[in-house]
């Protein structure tokens, strides 16, 4: 055997092997009853929760993104919170009986799922994907990001061992370890793969949708946040800074732009500063935008998930050590204004608009520019305004009086806990939900007959269709009176038949 083997060939062969093993394992696992499935998932959740801190440190060290302590919280969320939200969901056998309509619903898994994991959340997303997929009685193969293969593989190893110790067949959960584009393509196109779950950058998600398989994907989250004159300003400022600062803003649901109502704008600025926001000068904002955002609109990788101090240093200036987030005052949105784009870093644009109508328009402009279908937020106590924002915005998560990071993923709100936030039709996806176990199985339906279905009787004979009346001598189409007469005749004959 040669000392060095071609990485692409290794990756392709690994994809084939894992897909075949996963199919065999899933064909066995589909016969597990609900109790057995839940024992496996509970074991996985417990093992992941116990390893949350170690995996968080590994992810931060390998990717150089975010904060290890915050990644620990995400790992705990992906294991404990997610499991608690789905543990009572039936995914085996009869899941619902509709006695009135005589329909019996039966859960049925997709089969083998391929899940693409981002470098921004390399362990927590893998944990989330695996627990939800297995709960729905699927097998799953995790595809790590090339920048985070070790920590993702370790998370999957922990989940795999816990599942097998609880009785799951070997191969039900696995992870690609030889990462290449050729191997990824091979895996996604394998006939064993029945569903793709893509969480990550726009290019990754677009590729997943192009394969020709059913795919659940996300979209960019250029989240606007409107702060109304009726808001609790101190709470709003605290929530914003905490949300954007969390894990250095690598969760795409964080606030990317603040739209302040003019009467409270100065008050909000001071409150943000008290909470650790550093407002950039125009020169600093220009430097940061040019350094951080490429000409094609994508971020430079070495700016993703970095601290405010590192961001500033890489852009050629300094900010105080106590700065938790950076804020750039802007007046326009578009390609010529780099910081009006999505920023996976603790950087927020700041706009001032007079009144909620203008604030609403600015939010729509930001979402249309990048982030359509994802998330927006508002701090407001006027229920009429809140409802108008919900009705008018092109976003499927409207987070009210809470940070959008924790709110959108279901940590601080009643939304389903998830690390895959779909963007619906307007964002190029098939679902607008927080993806969870319900999206990972299909439903069979046994439907009993409720009413007779018989062809109508025409001219004393039962026919499979109703013949059209002869055309009028003066018109190619029957007149209104002729149509009415025909309808009355059919109704009389149907009633006569029934009576």
Q: Is the pLDDT of residue 1 over 50?
A: no
Q: Is the pLDDT of residue 50 over 90?
A: yes
pLDDT in the model for residue 455 = 78
Cα 393 from Cα 113, distance rounded (Å): 33
pLDDT in tens, 447-479: 999 999 887 777 766 555 545 445 444 445 556
How many degrees, rounded to 5, is the angle at CA 475 between CA 469 and CA 481?
55
Please state the pTM of the whole predicted model.
Answer: 0.89
CATH topology of domain 7-218+436-445: Aldehyde Dehydrogenase; Chain A, domain 1 (3.40.605)
pLDDT in the model for residue 473 = 46
Architecture of domain 223-415: 3-Layer(aba) Sandwich (3.40)
Q: Which two tokens stand for residue 66?
A: 């975010």
pLDDT in the model for residue 205 = 83
Residue from 186, 192, 151 nearest 171 by CA: 192
Exposure on the CB side of residue 52, measured as CA atoms within 13 A: 20
Q: Is the pLDDT of residue 5 over 80?
A: no
Radius of gyration over alpha carbons of the chain, in Å? 28
pLDDT in tens, 403-424: 999 999 999 999 999 999 999 9
Residues 6+ apart with CB under 8 A from 434: 397, 408, 409, 410, 415, 416, 417, 418, 420, 421, 422
pLDDT in tens, 300-330: 999 999 999 999 999 999 999 999 999 999 9
* For range 25-39, the mean pLDDT: 98
Residue from 57, 43, 44, 48 nearest 75 by CA: 48
Cα 230 from Cα 224, distance rounded (Å): 18
Q: Is the pLDDT of residue 116 over 90?
A: yes
Question: What is the band of 497 on the pLDDT scale with cuts at 50, 70, 90?
Answer: low
- Report the catalytic residues: 252
pLDDT in the model for residue 466 = 47
């Amino acid at each position: 055997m040669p000392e060095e083997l071609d990485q692409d060939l290794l990756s392709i062969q690994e994809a084939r092997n894992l897909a075949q093993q996963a199919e065999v394992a899933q064909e066995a696992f589909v016969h597990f009853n609900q109790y057995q499935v839940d024992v496996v998932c509970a074991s996985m959740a417990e093992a992941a929760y116990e390893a949350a801190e170690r995996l968080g440190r590994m992810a931060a060290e390998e990717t150089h993104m975010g904060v290890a302590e915050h990644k620990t919280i995400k790992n705990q969320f992906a294991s404990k919170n997610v499991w608690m939200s789905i543990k009572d969901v039936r995914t085996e056998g009869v899941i619902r009986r509709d006695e009135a309509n005589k329909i019996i619903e039966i859960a049925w898994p997709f089969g083998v799922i391929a899940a693409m994991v981002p470098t921004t959340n390399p362990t927590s997303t893998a944990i989330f994907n695996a627990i939800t997929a297995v709960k729905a009685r699927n097998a799953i193969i995790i595809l790590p990001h090339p920048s985070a293969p070790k920590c993702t593989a370790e998370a999957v190893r922990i989940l795999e061992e816990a599942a097998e110790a609880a009785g799951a067949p070997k191969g039900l959960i696995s992870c690609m370890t030889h990462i290449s584009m050729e191997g990824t393509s091979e895996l996604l196109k394998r006939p064993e793969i029945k569903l793709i779950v893509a969480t990550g950058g726009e290019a990754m998600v677009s590729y997943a949708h192009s394969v020709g398989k059913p795919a659940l994907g996300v979209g960019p989250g250029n989240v606007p946040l409107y702060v109304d004159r009726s808001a609790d300003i101190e709470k709003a400022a605290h929530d914003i800074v905490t949300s954007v600062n969390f894990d250095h803003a690598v969760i795409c649901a964080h606030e990317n732009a603040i739209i302040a109502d003019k009467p409270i704008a100065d008050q909000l600025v001071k409150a943000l500063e008290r909470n650790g926001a550093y407002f950039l000068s125009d020169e600093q904002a220009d430097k940061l935008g040019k350094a951080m955002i490429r000409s094609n609109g994508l971020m430079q990788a070495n700016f993703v998930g970095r601290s405010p101090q590192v961001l500033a240093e890489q852009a050629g200036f300094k900010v105080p050590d106590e700065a938790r987030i950076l804020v750039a005052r802007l007046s326009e949105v578009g390609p010529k204004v780099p910081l009006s784009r999505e920023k996976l870093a603790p950087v927020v644009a700041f706009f001032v608009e007079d009144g909620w109508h203008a604030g609403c328009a600015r939010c729509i402009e930001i979402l249309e520019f990048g982030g359509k279908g994802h998330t927006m937020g508002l701090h407001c106590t006027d229920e009429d305004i809140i409802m108008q924002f919900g009705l008018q915005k092109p976003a499927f998560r409207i987070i009210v009086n809470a940070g959008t990071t924790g709110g959108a993923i279901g940590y601080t709100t009643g939304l389903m806990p998830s690390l895959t936030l779909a963007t619906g039709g307007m964002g190029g996806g098939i679902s607008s939900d927080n993806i969870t176990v319900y999206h990972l199985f299909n439903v069979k339906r046994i439907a009993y007959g409720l009413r007779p279905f018989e062809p109508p009787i025409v001219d004393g004979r039962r026919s499979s269709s109703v013949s059209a009346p002869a055309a009028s001598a003066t018109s190619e189409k029957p007149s209104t009176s002729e149509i009415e007469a025909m309808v009355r005749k059919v109704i009389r004959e149907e009633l006569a038949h029934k009576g």
